[in-house]
Structure 1
Amino acid sequence: MRPIDIIWVCLGGGAGSLLRWGLGGAIDRAIPARFKFGTFLVNVTGAFAIAYLSAALALGWQQRHGDLVSSLVLTGFLGGYTTFSSMQLDTAQMAMEHRHALAALYLVASVGVGLCAAAAGVALARA
């Protein structure tokens, strides 16, 4: 890893995190519900984008390190944009509030729809 890669990841990660924070909050305010749509939609769109770009640029697992697009966009921006930890926190909070069915639905939907979005991204890139 070169020092410039660290800079690209930091810049992209900061920008992606700010977009997630702003967009996720706006979605949650626009759709007041007991289901965290902001985090859900951010993670699903992020899964699609990461998969699409990786497939479109023909980047394998090992190739996603060491160039501008990978460092700035994939690892940095989209890594900062998506949030596994917030999904887990949202799920735990629902469970602690005794909304177990909703917590389970949220967790399964987040993973399942995220995987479908990633598959759609790859399929679109290869079309």
Structure 2
Amino acid sequence: MVQLLCVFVGGGLGALLRWWISGWVAERVGETFPWGTLVVNVTGCIVVGFLAGLFAPEGRWWATPEVRQFLILGVCGGYTTFSSFSLQTLNLLQDGQWLAGLANVGLSVVLCMVGVWLGHWLGLWTQTLRS
């Protein structure tokens, strides 16, 4: 139950950070390109990589499972799921599973784009049913 609470609270904090930072970036550079989302994804990947290295068995710091779950799954996961995707892909590549790592990248991009298109289409279709 404690681990569940750690992920829950961390996820909420991460989502608030994502909202604040992406809005802050958008206010400064405009919204003609999703710079805010890009900044969030890149900084989230840097932070999750840093934490994974810091808390790794061969890393410099030890952390309880609750601290790791709060920071990595909760805060970073709420901040950006791209960080989880990137860390998992890095782990596959570091384990020498190049095909699986590249498949994860290709499948994630293609299937997520198809998924967002399908979801968008279903949303528009649902609106036509109401008319």
Name the TM-score class by shorter chain. 0.5 to 0.7
Specify the structure having the higher radius of gyration (Cα).
2
Aligned position for 2:101: none
Aligned position for 1:39: 37
Q: Which moved more, 1:13-22 or 1:51-60?
A: 51-60
Task: Describe how 1:1-127 pairs up with structure 2 within 5 A.
Answer: 3-58=1-56, 67-84=65-82
Counterpart residue type for residue 55 of structure 1: G
User: Aligned pairs, how many?
Assistant: 83
**Native 8 Å contact 2:14 2:79 kept in 1:** yes
Aligned position for 1:119: none
- Cα deviation for residue 59 of structure 1 reads 5.4
Determine what percentage of the aligned residue pairs are the same residue.
35
Aligned position for 1:100: none
Moved over 6 A (4+): none
Residue deviations 1:60-100, cap 9 Å, x none? 9xxxxx7122211000001101144xxx68xx79xxxxxxx
- Cα deviation for residue 6 of structure 1 reads 0.5
**Native 8 Å contact 2:17 2:79 kept in 1:** yes
Higher relative contact order (CA 8 A, sep 6+): 1
> How big is the alpha-carbon RMSD for the aligned residues of Structure 1 and Structure 2?
2.7
CA 1:29–1:80: 2 relative to 1, 3 Å: same
| Structure 2 stretches lacking a partner, 5+ long | 59-63, 83-111, 118-131
Q: TM-score, length-normalised on structure 2? A: 0.55
Q: TM-score, length-normalised on structure 1? A: 0.57
